[in-house]
C-alpha cells in the first residue's frame, strides 16, 4: 500500500491548484483532472508484517483544460488496464465520483446524493 502526503513541499510556491480554487469552491462535487509529479517523502516499516509503506509526495501539480483532461482520462484508463489487465468500466474513470450503483442492466454513478 502507498500513502499520499496531504501537503506540498514547503519550498513549493507555484501551486497550480490555486488557479482552480474558485471552480472547486463553486462546484465541490465536480471532478477535476490534474497532472502531477511525485516522489517518495518517507518509508515506514510495519513491524508486525515487515512491509515497507511508502508515502508519496506531490512535487508539482497542474490542472488540465477540458481537451487535455479528455486525453488524460484516456491515459489513466490505459495505465490502469496495463497495470491490472482489466479495462475500466466506462464512466467510472472519466470523472465520475461518488457511490456506484449496479443492477443487471446498468451502472449508475451518484454524485452528491443525486442520480
Give the per-residue pLDDT at 87.
78
Q: With 0-12 CB in 10 A as exposed, 13-18 as middle and 19+ as buried, what is 58?
A: buried
Which of 1, 3, 9 is CA-nearest to residue 55? 3
Q: Is pLDDT above 80 for 27?
A: yes
pLDDT digits (tens, 9 = 90+) for 64-77: 998 899 899 889 88
Distances in Å between the Cα of 84 and the Cα atoms of 6, 72, 105 are: 26, 18, 24
Note the pTM of the prediction, 2 decimals.
0.66
> Cα angle at 33 between 97 and 9, to 5 degrees?
110
Find cell 446524493 and name the residue: 113
Q: Which three cell numbers stand for residue 81?
A: 488496464
Q: What are the structural domain ranges in the chain? A: 1-63
* Cα four-point dihedral sign 46, 9, 28, 68: negative
Q: Which three cell numbers stand for residue 13?
A: 510556491
Amino acid at each position: 500500500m502507498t500513502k499520499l502526503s496531504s501537503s506540498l513541499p514547503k519550498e513549493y510556491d507555484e501551486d497550480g491548484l490555486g488557479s482552480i480554487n474558485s471552480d472547486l469552491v463553486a462546484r465541490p462535487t465536480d471532478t477535476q483532472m490534474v497532472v502531477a509529479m511525485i516522489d517518495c517523502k518517507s518509508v515506514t516499516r510495519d513491524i508486525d508484517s515487515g512491509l515497507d509503506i511508502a508515502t508519496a509526495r506531490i512535487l508539482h501539480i497542474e490542472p488540465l483544460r477540458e481537451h487535455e483532461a479528455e486525453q488524460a482520462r484516456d491515459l489513466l484508463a490505459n495505465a490502469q488496464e496495463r497495470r491490472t489487465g482489466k479495462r475500466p468500466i466506462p464512466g467510472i474513470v472519466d470523472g465520475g465520483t461518488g457511490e456506484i450503483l449496479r443492477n443487471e442492466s446498468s451502472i449508475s454513478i451518484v454524485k452528491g446524493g443525486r442520480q
